[in-house]
Amino acid sequence: MAKIAMTTPLVEMDGDEMTRILWQMIKDNLICPYVDLKTEYYDLGLKNRDNTDDAVTLESARATQRLGVAVKCATITPNAARVEEYGLKSMWKSPNGTIRAALDGTVFRAPILVKGIEPNVRNWQKPITLARHAYGDVYRNTEMRIPGPGKVELVYTADDGTETRELVHRFEGPGVAQGMHNLDNSIASFAHACFSFALDSKQDLWFATKDTISKTYDHRFKDIFQEIYDAQYAEKFKEAGIVYFYTLIDDAVARVMKSPGGFIWACKNYDGDVMSDMVSSAFGSLAMMTSVLVSPQGCWEYEAAHGTVQRHYYRYLKGEETSTNSVATIFAWTGALRKRGELDQLPELVDFANRLERATLATIESGKMTKDLALITSIENPQVLNSREFILAIRDMLEG
């Protein structure tokens, strides 16, 4: 059978450890036999980042801006132990952070639902996609320990020298104080990314802050979202039959728990940090979470939400058997191929991505899965496969 043709290459960002092993197995067994794969390859493996003084990471981000769609393998973010392990020239920054900064993007994370892996929240029938604002607030704060009596003020000095002051608190004894900020531009980029993603995925968008208490700071988020929605998206949402709604964060949390799922939940930086861990663990498994970075210019970078699965890799290096779940990495590939197919009007490529996803889920539903899923499945007597056997079982399902 003729392979499916591509027109524009994908940006392929290879990575580290166990996920790098899975990456090659997925390409060899599930993609290349069916698709005449065109990629622009960037090796983001730690050794090559070190060899290129991390230039390769920025080059891969630039390529994503040029070509529009990327697929990324998990990568090591170096710490002191990794500097030693790999003999690094420097403790290079997180590749995801570098790529996110270059693309000014927002990350959307969604669980992959499959029969036999039930969410802990009984009424969640569809995925909940979490969009986390990735700039500012408490992550860029300035903190102070206040030793004793005195006053703390916020002071803004404009470039012309004019000062504006607000009293934070007059301390009678010791305490703590904190200053944080955010930027209209960054909030607007976040809003555009959320509205575009809602339209693209035809899902409602929820946004929540604590604007009743934070009447200037959080209220600014609410206003920017509303202004952008009214001016540029309200009509399109109506046509698409989807809804944008704003509510208080505590109300949103209560509604999320009672909802059937199937919407996007946009969160400020801290709320997104906390709530994404809650939502993903309640859906079942980190190895079943997809992640896509969307830039305001409409560039898409797909990856798995989990890391390089270091512990499994060390077992693999010793020649021991591993049972590492490749589902989220397969879905990074299908997400990127589907998007490429949509942008280039290649219905066969879109169809292939959909079929590969269905084959992956059908394999699990037939009782064949990796160990992490076997531990939590409601399917009786699951068959635990190793990393390679699981990928080959998906191939059988795809062919069958």
Provide the binding-site residues for Mg ion, judged by CB under 5 A: 273
Task: For residue 361, give the nearest of 113, 122, 118 by alpha carbon.
Answer: 113
Give which of Mg ion, ligand NAP, none residue 273 binds (C-beta under 5 to 8 Å, depending on kind): Mg ion
Least separation in angstroms between CB 326 and ligand NAP = 7
Three-point CA angle 158, 159, 162, nearest 5°: 45
Is the CB of 76 or the CB of 205 nearer to ligand NAP?
76
* List of residues contacting ligand NAP (CB under 6 A): 74-77, 96, 286-287, 303, 306-311, 324-325, 372
Contact 359, 399 (CB under 8 A): no
Task: Between 8 and 77, name the residue whose CB sits nearer to ligand NAP.
Answer: 77
Between residues 273 and 342, which has the closer beta carbon with respect to Mg ion?
A: 273
Q: How far is the CB of 59 from Mg ion (least distance, A)?
A: 29
What are the beta bridge partners of residue 178? 143
Query: Of the two residues 203 and 323, which places its CB atom closer to ligand NAP in the complex?
Result: 323
In this complex, which beta carbon is closest to Mg ion, that of residue 96 or of residue 201? Answer: 96
285 or 295: CB nearest ligand NAP: 285
The minimum distance between CB 276 and Mg ion, in angstroms, equals 7
Question: Which residue lies nearest Mg ion, judged by its C-beta?
Answer: 273
Out of ligand NAP, Mg ion, none, which partner does residue 307 contact, by CB within 5 to 8 A per kind? ligand NAP
Provide long-range contacts, Cβ within 8 A and 24+ apart, for 87-93. Answer: 88/46, 88/50, 89/50, 89/53, 90/50, 90/53, 90/54, 92/46, 92/49, 92/50, 92/54, 92/57, 93/54
Of ligand NAP, Mg ion, none, which one sits near residue 311, judging by CB under 5 to 8 A according to partner kind?
ligand NAP
How far is 291 from 272, CA to CA, in rounded Å? 14
Q: Smallest distance, Å, CB 274 to Mg ion?
A: 7
Q: How far is the CB of 25 from Mg ion (least distance, A)?
A: 29
Q: Are 13 and 42 in contact (CB under 8 A)?
A: yes
Phi and psi torsions of 42, nearest 5°: -125, 125
Query: What is the β-pairing status of strands 383-384 and 368-369?
Result: parallel
Q: In this structure, are residues 389 and 377 in contact, taking their beta carbons and an 8 Å threshold? A: no
